[in-house]
Amino acid sequence: MTPRPAASRAAFWTALGLFPLLAVVCGVLFGGASAVGPWETLRALCGLPAEGAPQAVVDTLVFDVRLPRVVLLALCGAALAVAGAVLQACLQNPLADPGLLGLSGGASLGAVAAYVSGAALAFPPSVPLAAFAGALVASAIVYVAAHAAGRPTTGALLLTGVAVGSLCSSLVSVMLIVENTHRVHEVFAWLLGSAEGREWAHVKLAAGPVLVGVAGLFAFRRVADALALGEEQALSVGVDVLRGRIVLLSFVALAAGAAVSVVGPVSFVGLMAPHLVRPFSGAPARKLLPAAALAGAGFLVICDLLARAISPNVDVPVGVVTALMGVPFFLVQLHRLRIRH
C-alpha cells in the first residue's frame, strides 16, 4: 500500500475527529418534532435564555431528552464499531460483526431475562451484566461449534452465528409470551434497536462496561494484530492463540453486550464502520480502533437522525435504518470476498 501524504492523513483524522462532534450537535439541534426548534436549542446549549417556549420546557427537552439520547447512541456506536474491528481481526473474517456472529442475540437474551425476572428493577446494573454474560456464552457457542470440524470457512462461521442468533431471538420471544408483558410495543422497538426514552440513567448504566470493554480491546490491540496475520504468525511472536482469542472475545462481549443492553441489537455498525475507515487509517489496530470508534459514534447518531426524519411523528427504531444500509453493504463485501477467493 502506497503511504499517504502527511497532509492527507492529517485531514482524515481532523475530519474524523469532528464527525461525531458535529453529529451529536446535529442530533440535539434537530432531534425530534417539538415546539423547541434548532434556534431555541442552540441558545440553550450556549446558556442563553429561551425566547419562545418556557425555559423549563426548553431545558428539559434539550438536556434531559435529546442530549442523553445522542450521547448514548454515540457511546454505543463507538463500542459496536470497535468490537466489529477486533472481531474481524482476531477471527480473520472481514464479515465479522457482533450481530452476525450471534453476540447481539445473546446480549439481548441476557438483557430481556434480567427485565423479565425483575432483576433489572431490584439491581439496574444486572442488565449490562446479564447482557455481557449472554454475549459471552453466545460467542463461545459460535466459536466452539464453528471450529468443531477444524478451521471454519467464512460461510460456516457466519451460518453458525446466524443460527445461534436465531435461537436467542426465539428464546426472547418465548420469554415475552410467557411473561405476557403489557409493554410489547416498547420491547419490540428495543429488539429492533431503539434509543427512544433513554435518559442519563441509561448512559451511566452503559458507560462503565462499555469503557472497560473498549479500553481492554485497546490494551490488547497487539494481540489482535498478531491474530489478524494468522495463527502460525501469532505463535511465532509468542502470542497464545487460544488465550488471546478468549481475552479479546470477552472484552468484545462486555462492550457490545453493554451497548445492546440499552439500545437493543443494532445491526451492521460493527461491520460497516471498520471497513469505511480502514482504507484511510490502515489495518494496524493502534490506528484502526480509534478511527472505527469515531466513525461508529457519528454514524449511529446520524442514522438516528435519519430514522426520525423518515417519520417525524413516529419513532422509527434506529436499527431499521442501520439494517437498510447494512444489508446492501454486507452483500457487496460478500461479493468482493468471493471474487478475492
Helix or strand holding residue 38 (H, E): helix 38-45
* Cell numbers representing residue 141 in the block: 457457542
Give residue 91's identity as a one-letter amino acid code. Answer: L
Contacts of 55 (CB under 8 A, 6+ apart): 49
* Cell numbers representing residue 1 in the block: 500500500
Short-list 253, 250, 254, 248, CA closest to 228: 248
Angle at 239 between CA 237 and CA 242, to 5 degrees: 150
* Cell numbers representing residue 278 in the block: 480502514
* Cell numbers representing residue 67 in the block: 442530549
pLDDT on residue 130: 92
pLDDT on residue 222: 94
CB atoms within 10 A of CB 122: 9
CA distance 67 to 309: 17
CA distance 265 to 317: 11
| Helices and strands in the chain: count of H runs, count of E runs | 16, 0
CA–CA distance from 1 to each of 92, 138, 222, 283, 285 (Å)? 19, 37, 20, 11, 16
CA distance 41 to 167: 44
Give residue 108's identity as a one-letter amino acid code. Answer: S
Short-list 199, 197, 216, 210, CA closest to 128: 210
Q: Per-10-residue mean pLDDT for the chain, 341 residues long?
A: 70 94 94 77 87 85 93 97 94 88 91 86 88 92 82 76 91 81 66 87 93 96 92 88 89 94 93 96 95 97 92 83 95 85 61
Contact 333, 275 (CB under 8 A): yes
pLDDT on residue 18: 96
18-48 per-residue burial string, b: 16 or more CB within 10 A, e: under 16: ebbeebbebbbbebeeeebeeebbebbeeee
pLDDT on residue 124: 86
Residues in the chain: 341
CA–CA distance from 297 to each of 24, 71, 199 (Å)? 9, 9, 18
CB atoms within 10 A of CB 281: 25
pLDDT tens for 10-51 read: 899 999 999 999 999 999 998 766 668 888 888 888 888 888
Give residue 243's identity as a one-letter amino acid code. Answer: R
pLDDT on residue 185: 65
Contact 290, 21 (CB under 8 A): no
pLDDT on residue 301: 97
pLDDT on residue 306: 93
pLDDT on residue 20: 96
CA distance 260 to 282: 28
Give residue 44's identity as a one-letter amino acid code. Answer: A
For 106-128, the DSSP string reads HHHHHHHHHHHHTHHHH-TTHHH
Helix or strand holding residue 173 (H, E): helix 154-179
